Structure 1
Amino acid sequence: MKMKRKYITALSTVIGTSLLLAACGGGSTPTNSGSTTTPGAASPAAAAKKADGPKLNFRLAETHPADYPTTLGDKKFAELVNQASDGRIKIDVFPASQLGEEKAVIEQVQLGAIEFTRVSTGALGGFNKQYEVFSLPYIFDNDNHQWKFLESEQGTKLLDSLESSRMKGLAYYSSGARHFYSKKPIKSIADLKGLKIRVIQNKVNIDLMNALGANATPMPYGDVFNALQTGVIDAAENNYPSYFSSNHFQQAKNLILDQHQRVPEVLLISKVAWDKLSADDKALIKKAALESVKTQKAEWDKFEKDSEAKVKAAGVTITDVSDLKPWQDAVKPVIEKYRNDYKETLEAIEKARK
C-alpha cells in the first residue's frame, strides 16, 4: 500500500507540473484573446506585424529652437514618415540641442545611439572631407544657383558619400547666405582685420578668416552668445534666422551683408539604423525626407524675412554690400588652395551656374 501511495503521489506531481507548464505557455504556442492556434503556426497578430514590419521609435537631434525652419522641416519629415507607415514608425524631434551640440550628435549618430539628425554641412566637413567644399566662399551666386547644384546628380552623389562616414544623407535643407556680425561697426573688409571671429571648426573656415585678416576662433554654436557677451570673441557669422533666434543680435549689433558663404543643411540617418531597415522602409523614409524639403524651404523664406524685420526693429546697424568683387578677390587664394581637392564638385557647381 505504501509503494502504491508513493507511485500515485509521484504521478500527480508530474501531471501537475505538465499542466503548469502548459498554462505558462511552455508547452504550446500562446493564444491571443482566447483564440486557439495551431502549434508551430504564427498567430494572426504576429502575421500582421510581420507583414507591416516592426514598430520603430527613433530620435532626431536638432540644434535650433522648436520654431526654427529646420526644426519645422524635421517635424514635417517625422509627420510624413508616421503617416506613410500608418503610425508604425515614430520619430521624436528633440530641438534646442537637447541631445547635444552638432559635433557630439554626429558622433552619436555614427555609433547608432541617435538615429537621425539635421546638421550644417559645415559641421559635416570634420567627418567627411568632401563636405568642406560648402565652406568655400562665394562658390554660389545665389540660392537658385545653389539649389540647381544640390538637386543635380553631383549633389545626390555627395549625400550618398556620407555612407563612408557611417551616415546616410537623406535630403538638403535651405540655410540662406551667411554674413558677419560684430560688437563694433563693420563697414568693409578692413574692419574685420584682427577680429576674433567664431567659426565652425574646419580648415576651410580657418583659411577664410585668415584671408580676410581676421582670427578664426572655432567653438560650438551654443557657446557663441556667452563668448560675445564676455569678449572671448569679437564677432561671429551666420544667416539672418540664426542671428535672430540665437539672440546674438543683442550682443553684436553690427551686421554686414557680405554673403560670404551659402552652407546648406543635411537631414541624415545613422547607417547603423539605415542598414537595419527593410527596403520598403528605406524608400518610405527617403521619400518623406525629400517631400519635407518643400515645407522647410517655405518656412525658411518666411522666417528669414521676419528675422530681418525684427533685428532692424531692435536697432541693429545693417550694412549692405553693393559690390562683392573686393570680397571675392580677397578670398580667391582660398578657393585655389582647395580646387584640386574638390575639382569634381566645383566643376558641377560651375555647370549649375550656366
Structure 2
Amino acid sequence: MNKKTMSLCGLVCLTIILLAGCSEYSVKSDGKTTLILAENQPADYPTTIGAKEFARLVEEKTNGRYEIKVYHGGQLGDEKKAVELTQLGAIDFIRANTTPLTEFNDQIGVLAMPFLFEDEDKKWDMLTGEVGNDLLDTFAGTRLVGLAFYDSGERSFYNTERPIETPEDMRGLKIRVQSSELAIDIVESLGASATPMDYGEVYSSLQNGVIDGAENNFPSYYTSSHYNVAKYYTVNGFQGAPEALLASQEMWDELSEEDRVAFKEAAMESIEVQREAWADLTEVSKETVTEAGSELIEVDDVNEWREAVQPVYDKYGNEYSEWIERLSNDE
C-alpha cells in the first residue's frame, strides 16, 4: 500500500469516527437538509461568528430547506485534515486561512505577498469584487468551491529586543515564521534571520531567547500571550492573507442553480458581520496589550519596507504576475 492510499484510508477512518460523533451529519428529513461546517477557532472568534452568520443567512434564503451546523474549536480535526475531508465530501463547508491553502491551490498564494495592498479599503474593494471572485474561482479542479473571503487582519512584527521602525532595525534578529518558503524569504529580505517553528513553541522560545521575535496580527499577539514576553510590536501590516470560506465540490454539485446563488449570496453577505467582529477583537487586543505595557510602534509610511522586500517580488513575480497586476489596478 503506497503512502497516498494509506493517507486516504486514514481520512476515511477519521470520517467514520466523525460521523459516529455527529448524529446531525448531512441529514435529510422533513424537507430539510442539515449540512456541516468545520471551523477550528473558538465559538466567539470572528471567523466562527462569520460562519454562523453564513449559516443563518442560508437557512433564511432557502426558507428553512437547508440548515448548517457549525462545528467550531477543531471538533472535526485540524485545518488541513478538515480541508481534505471537505475535498472528499465528508464535510460540506470549511473556513481556512489562504496561506496553508496554497498546498491545494498555488494561485491563492498571491494573497500572502508582502505589502500587496495600499490600504484596507482597497484590499476589501478588491476581495469583494470581480478580482476576488476570480481568485475564488481558482479553486476549480481542487474539489473545493470558493465562496467568500473573511478578514484575518494584518500581520506585523513583534520582538523582545528593541523598537523596530525601519527595515534596518530588523537586522540580526531571529524571527519565527511559518514553515513556508515565502515567509522565510520575506523575513530574510528584511535582514533578519528566519526561524521556522511550530506556533505552540513560540512563547517559550521568546521567553528563553531561542528567538527574538515573531509576526502575527493583534488578536493572535494578544490571545497567545506573546505580549507578555515580547513588548515591542511594530504596526506595519506587512502581510494580510485573508481567510476563505469553502464548500465541498461534491455537495455543491448536488445543489440546484437557485440554491447555489442563495449560498453564494449568504457567504458574501456574512462578510460584513465577520469583519465587524474582527475589528472589535482587534481593538480589544490593542487596548489590552497596551495596558499591559507593550509599546506599539506605528509605521505611517511603508515605502521603505516595500522597497526592502523587492527581492521577494523578483522571485515570485512571474508566478503571480497576472494577479499582482490586477490587484494593483486602481480601476
TM-score, normalised by the number of residues in structure 1: 0.77
Map 1:161-176; keep pairs closer than 5 Å. Answer: 161-176=138-153
Unaligned runs of 5+ in 1: 1-48
Select the residue among 45, 55, 64 that pairs with 1:68. Answer: 45
* Shift in CA distance, 347/109, structure 1 to aligned 2, threshold 3 Å: same
In the alignment, is the contact (CA less than 8 A) between 2:34 and 2:69 conserved in 1? no
Task: Note the aligned Cα RMSD (angstroms).
Answer: 2.5
Select the residue among 273, 278, 281 that pairs with 1:303. Answer: 281
Q: CA deviation at 1:303?
A: 2.0
Unaligned runs of 5+ in 2: 1-27
* Shift in CA distance, 232/56, structure 1 to aligned 2, threshold 3 Å: farther
* 1:113 matched residue in structure 2: 90
Distance in 2 (CA, whole Å) between partners of 1:191 and 1:151 is 36
**Amino acid across the alignment from 2:67:** K
Q: CA deviation at 1:165?
A: 1.8
Select the residue among 283, 287, 291 that pairs with 2:265. Answer: 287
Q: CA deviation at 1:339?
A: 1.6
* 1:260 matched residue in structure 2: 238
Q: CA deviation at 1:223?
A: 5.3
Q: What's the CA shift string for 1:76-131, capped at 9, x where partnerless?
A: 11122223334442322233333333333322322223322212211212221111
* Shift in CA distance, 54/94, structure 1 to aligned 2, threshold 3 Å: closer
In the alignment, is the contact (CA less than 8 A) between 2:154 and 2:237 conserved in 1? yes
Larger Rg computed on CA atoms:
1
Distance in 2 (CA, whole Å) between partners of 1:79 and 1:151 is 20
Distance in 1 (CA, whole Å) between partners of 2:278 and 2:288 is 15
* 1:237 matched residue in structure 2: 215
Pick which of 250-259 and 162-171 moved more.
Answer: 250-259
Distance in 2 (CA, whole Å) between partners of 1:160 and 1:114 is 20
* 1:336 matched residue in structure 2: 314
Distance in 2 (CA, whole Å) between partners of 1:298 and 1:333 is 35
**Amino acid across the alignment from 1:90:** E
Q: What's the CA shift string for 1:46-99, capped at 9, x where partnerless?
A: xxx89x8552231x2223322222111111111222233344423222333333
Q: What's the CA shift string for 1:260-293, capped at 9, x where partnerless?
A: 1121111111222222333333222212111101
* 2:9 matched residue in structure 1: none
Aligned residue pairs: how many? 303
TM-score, normalised by the number of residues in structure 2: 0.82
Question: Are positions 1:250 and 2:203 aligned together?
Answer: no
Q: CA deviation at 1:318?
A: 1.4
Map 1:140-289; keep pairs closer than 5 Å. Answer: 140-188=117-165, 189-219=167-197, 221=199, 224-225=202-203, 227-229=205-207, 233-289=211-267
Q: Secondary structure at the match of 2:69?
A: strand
**Amino acid across the alignment from 1:140:** F
In the alignment, is the contact (CA less than 8 A) between 1:65 and 1:245 conserved in 2? no
* 2:14 matched residue in structure 1: none
Q: What's the CA shift string for 1:231-283, capped at 9, x where partnerless?
A: 55442212112222333323332211121112111111122222233333322
**Amino acid across the alignment from 2:233:** L
**Amino acid across the alignment from 2:133:** T
**Amino acid across the alignment from 1:151:** T
* 2:102 matched residue in structure 1: 125
**Amino acid across the alignment from 1:310:** T
* 1:7 matched residue in structure 2: none
Q: Secondary structure at the match of 2:94?
A: strand
* Shift in CA distance, 159/316, structure 1 to aligned 2, threshold 3 Å: same
* Shift in CA distance, 232/245, structure 1 to aligned 2, threshold 3 Å: same
